[in-house]
């Protein structure tokens, strides 16, 4: 996957995130970037195509990543 330019991306985070840090997401040229807010925009960006991101969101909604599911 070619690395898109996220330098001017509009990063978004959950309205329910606290001051302790969370993740932010941005969409650039069909690629979804995810970064940690604690790095103040200087840390690595994980990149996903739209199909991967849609699968992740569906899994999250279905509870696939709940702690009790991961430990069993």
Residue spans per domain, the chain:
9-65
Note the pLDDT of residue 27.
95
Report the C-alpha gap between 34 and 49 in whole angstroms: 11
Report the C-alpha gap between 4 and 46 in whole angstroms: 12
Tens-level pLDDT at each residue, the chain (72 residues): 578 999 999 999 888 777 777 889 999 999 999 999 888 888 899 999 999 999 999 998 998 888 776 665
CA dihedral 48, 2, 12, 50 (to 10 degrees): -40
């Amino acid at each position: 996957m070619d690395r898109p330019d996220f330098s001017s991306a509009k990063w978004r985070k959950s309205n329910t995130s606290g001051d302790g840090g969370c993740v932010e997401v941005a969409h650039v040229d069909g690629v979804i970037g995810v970064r940690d807010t604690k790095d103040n925009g200087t840390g690595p960006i994980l990149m996903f195509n739209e199909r991967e991101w849609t699968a992740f969101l569906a899994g999250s909604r279905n509870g696939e990543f709940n702690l009790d599911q991961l430990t069993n």
